[in-house]
Amino acid sequence: MAALEQNSDGSCNDLVNSNKNCTNSLSEEIRKQADEVKDKANTYFKNEQYNEAINFYTQAIELNPYNAPYYGNRSFAYLRTECFGYALEDASKALDLDRNYIKAYYRRASANMALGKFKLALKDFEAVVKVKPNDKDARAKYNECAKIVRMMAFQKAISSSDSESVVEKLDLENMVIEDDYNGPALENNKVTEKFVTELLDTFKNQKKLHRKFAYQILIQAKEYFSKQLTLVDIDVPKDSKFTICGDIHGQFYDLLNIFELNGLPSKDNPYLFNGDFVDRGSFSVECILSLLSLKLLYPQHFYMSRGNHESITMNQMYGFDGEVKSKYTSQMCDLFTEVFNWIPLAHCINKKIMVCHGGLFSDPAVTLDDIRKVDRNRQPPESGIMCELLWSDPQIVPGTAPSKRGVGVQFGPDVTENFLKVNNLDYIIRSHEVKDAGYEIMHNGKCITVFSAPNYCDTMKNKGAFITIKGGDLTPKYTSYEAVPHPNVKPMAYASSLFGLF
């Protein structure tokens, strides 16, 4: 490696090599001050106050930018707040400063896994194994990641050679309903109000829906969604109420609380759920089957937008894949994927409000018609309209910037204003981010975030919220609520064993 050079003022020209000389250029007082700030950050991290931890790690880095563990610690905090792009940058920076800092390899591997880049993650695990060949934990993580890479390659090979739907492989006619099953049943293969009422009660009591009925719901939902456009137009009559909910993330008992507070969905009480129905929360199966049943019962009064977690990679890491396999079958996982691929990406209410899960675009010329034309029957790509609808986030400053998540973009108030002007809209509603009050208003009131999973992952202490509007003036009203108790099943109970890295 090249020798590290220092300018006369003590600054460094080359940070690829050891940071020893640069560190020595700092006074003992500054290094001590930086460590004290880092200790404060660690305390906030231990108390699961990750945003505060990030602020103090940043202060420590500003005082001493040559300390690899500072970046490694902040990377870990970014992982906890799902800022995977920032986590990746910090882990790489830590390794630039110290190639022997093992934790940074784990952090970078974690960020890459969260972004679905398992081959890159595998390289970092391999690097750790080479340095610590006798470390059983490192070897286990390497083997687990290698297994996922092989499985993904196999799935890709299968999908390219076998385009047959799961639906065509099912033999529902001969699927036996056991004599001792006393749960809800479809009537003439149709979802009814009675069925939905019994289903919600069954799930509330931690009982299962029979797999035959679950399969039938999925098949019918896929058929319905496949006939919809990528962007669905909704007409809300002048004096009618309409409710928009954000992320639910498998928190079934909080979903029931929304219905308790705001009434069950019906023709007179329509809803739109804006993505991320599953993952993290360990009652994701109950959430998604309930929502799909409501969609089939009230197809013109109950709407669902796809979120970034309605995808294979997210489901493999964050628990939904494992939960479906535990409660039903791996074949049902594949059918869920087919259903998710067809869920619309956006909705437009009364030609004035666009609702999507993530946000806006790097291309300022995108129109609603462009969204309508998107071929959504696929896994989310890493760029383009579909990717940005699912992954983007608003920012305070004007313009666009690389996403803190590593996918999509961050977009400023000018981007929102331009999109609304181009498409003759009043404002946008999106979800995708935890907010303390369950909602946040940005960009001069033109970009609203709603997040409906309170005390997210049983750790974030945030409120959940939903938005109601009237068809006449479309003025948003916000209802916030606390989390309710749930059975003693922890979030991420079905997640990949690699998730311990996060």
Return the active site residues.
Answer: 309
Distance CA 265, CA 249 (A): 19
- Tokens in use for 247? 């992320």
Task: Give the contacts of 220 (CB within 8 A, at least 6 positions apart).
Answer: 191, 296
Q: Which residue do the tokens 């896929």 mark?
A: 222
> Maximum CA pair distance of the chain?
85
Amino acid in the structure at residue 251: Q
Positive/negative CA dihedral, 130, 135, 141, 147: positive
Half-sphere exposure (Cβ direction) of 442: Cα atoms closer than 13 Å = 26
Angle, alpha carbons 199-255-243 (nearest 5°): 110
| Cβ neighbours, 10 Å, residue 487 | 11
Beta partners for 427?
A: 353
Distance CA 18, CA 25 (A): 13
Q: Residues in the chain, how many?
A: 502
Distance CA 25, CA 419 (A): 49
Taking a C-beta distance cutoff of 8 angstroms, is the pair 475, 90 a contact? Answer: no
Angle, alpha carbons 344-115-162 (nearest 5°): 60
- Give 431's DSSP letter: -
Taking a C-beta distance cutoff of 8 angstroms, is the pair 432, 247 a contact? Answer: yes
Integer CA distances (angstroms), 381 to 240, 371, 384, in order: 37, 15, 7
Amino acid in the structure at residue 375: D
Task: Give the contacts of 470 (CB within 8 A, at least 6 positions apart).
Answer: 236, 238, 239, 240, 241, 242
Distance CA 201, CA 164 (A): 35
